[in-house]
Amino acid sequence: MEINMTTNNLRKINQLTSDLSRHNTSHLLHFILTLITGFWLIIWILVADENAVRRAQIRNKIGALQDPYYKPERVPNRLLGILFILLIVIVIIAAIGNQP
């Protein structure tokens, strides 16, 4: 079976591919900022989590445009990122509380 790609679909795919490249996380930059500030890790997790969700959504749109039988990938769960941040905050508070 051959899939007929319309010009409009190709245009949408090109736009979505461009959007996909904009939602990258610069892990090196966030690592350096975490080393400098110590608290940037929370922002890093939030940014990486948001980018992962957005990229999965875009890849699902591209897949649906390319193949009508495309099975969407699972979009990452944002709750895990939030729980991880809460864990980090609790550990920091506990560490500060144990200072002599």
Delimit the domains of the chain by residue range.
7-97
d(CA 95, CA 39): 14
d(CA 54, CA 23): 7
Tokens representing 71 are 């099975």
Q: What is the pTM of this model?
A: 0.64
Give me the residue label for tokens 């110590």. 38
| pLDDT tens per residue across all 100 residues of the chain | 345 567 888 888 888 888 777 877 788 888 898 889 877 888 888 888 888 888 888 888 888 888 878 888 777 777 777 777 778 778 877 877 777 6
